Structure 1
Amino acid sequence: MKRTIRAAITLSLLLPPLVLPLGAMAALPVTDFVVQAIKSDNAQILIGSLAQMRGQTQAVKDLGLTLVRDRTNTRMQMLAVAKALHVTVPPAPGAAAAAAYKKLAKLSGTAFDRAFLAEVIDNQKEDIAAIREHTGEAKGEAGEITRKRLAVVEKHLTLAHAAQSSEGAAAVQ
């Protein structure tokens, strides 16, 4: 816990302005980055759970499980950072994520799989861009947290692309 608190303090000192590719792309302080990261985790956990229930292919169901498991872990790390920074974090994902969930919840079969994979790919790309924006500036434990988060999100992007490729191959057969 002490390491997480030190990392949060280091992160807040080393990364005053961060830029996220969300909304108007305005410069955000580290506290806003933490909030956005947790909202992203919440969104991925939500749609990952939906994929486990509604996914047609095993690849989509497996990706859903991976999203839930990994994003729950990254969320816990970011919640510790938020607590150390005294940041209040809303428990729900943002409005765009809620709209995406509603859209996905109405779909089934191949239509669900395709829309889910497209959503995951878009989300992972946005998250990767946001993380890379400040990864180089973060040092020590703060840098370690952001590098680990980047590795997780990049893995999800790779898995989503692989599932999308296998889904496309299955549709051709």
Structure 2
Amino acid sequence: MANMFAKAGLVALIALAPLGVSAKDDPGRQFIVKAIQGNMAEIAMGQLAQQKGASDGVKSFGQMLVQDHSAAKDQASAAATAAQVTPPTEPNKEQKATYDRMSKLSGAAFDRQFVAHMVADHKKEIGEYQKEAKRSDGAISDYAKATLPTLQKHLETAQSLERQVKAAR
């Protein structure tokens, strides 16, 4: 059934492509493109945390990121389709560079850098999602509103892990 919706969304995107609707035309459209890229980056970072993390807390948080951001990516993609925005297929260059830098670390060094990045990243994301949630009604702002509690939970978890990592030094 999900595949049927995906195909229907693709058909709608193809049919509407000649209208020239792009993400550059609207801040909400820009937001949803960034949100999808952010979800893909968080999924990749969560997978990396499960592989490279030294502590069980970091590995568990990585698993949470993969699970939650996979669901959020699906929801964001549906919102993008509803808003006639073509979803991106990969994280942006900055997100890829962060992943590459983090992939070279391991153990306690990975844990320190990872949790620091997750705290900063989730603070930034929460601000962007709050702004979009207030912008207007519609699929994109509904997605932002629905995702905020999960992002806040992630920030709290990352902050707790950051305190643990600092205390372990």
**Which TM-score bucket, shorter chain as reference?**
0.7 to 0.9
Structure 2 residue 165 is matched with structure 1 residue 161: no
- Bigger RCO (CA 8 Å, 6+ sep): 1
| 2:70 counterpart residue number | 72
How much identity, in percent, do the aligned residues show?
32
Q: CA deviation at 1:142?
A: 5.6
Worse-matched range after superposition: 96-105 or 162-171: 162-171
2:36·2:76 contact (CA, 8 Å) conserved in 1? yes
Partner in structure 2 of residue 101 of structure 1: 99
Q: Which moved more, 1:49-58 or 1:126-135?
A: 126-135
Residue 108 of structure 2 is matched in structure 1 by 110
Cα RMSD (Å):
2.3
Calculate the TM-score normalised by the size of structure 1.
Answer: 0.78
How far off its partner does 1:79 sit?
0.4
- Partner SS, residue 156 of structure 1: helix
Superposition pairs of residues 130-149 of structure 1, within 5 angstroms: 130-139=128-137, 143-149=141-147
Q: Deviations over 1:85-114 (max 9, x none)?
A: 221122110111100000000001111001
1 or 2, which has the higher helix percentage?
2
Paired residue for 1:84? 82
Partners of 1:107 and 1:27 in 2: CA distance: 39
Distance change (3 Å), C-alpha of 1:100 and 1:141? closer
Aligned residues: 149
Q: CA deviation at 1:28?
A: 5.2
Asked if 1:50 is matched to 2:48, the reply is: yes
Identify which range, 153-162 or 143-152, moves more after superposition: 143-152
Q: Is the 8 A contact 1:138 1:146 kept in 2?
A: no
Code of the aligned partner of 1:122: A
Using the TM superposition, give the Cα deviation of residue 141 of structure 1 relative to its aligned residue in structure 2, in angstroms.
Answer: 6.6
The separation in 2 between residues aligned to 1:89 and 1:136, in whole angstroms, is 22
Aligned equivalent of 2:150? 152
Of 33, 36, 47, the residue aligned with 2:34 is: 36
Change (3 A) 1:92 1:142: closer
Show structure 1 runs of 5+ residues with no match. Answer: 6-25
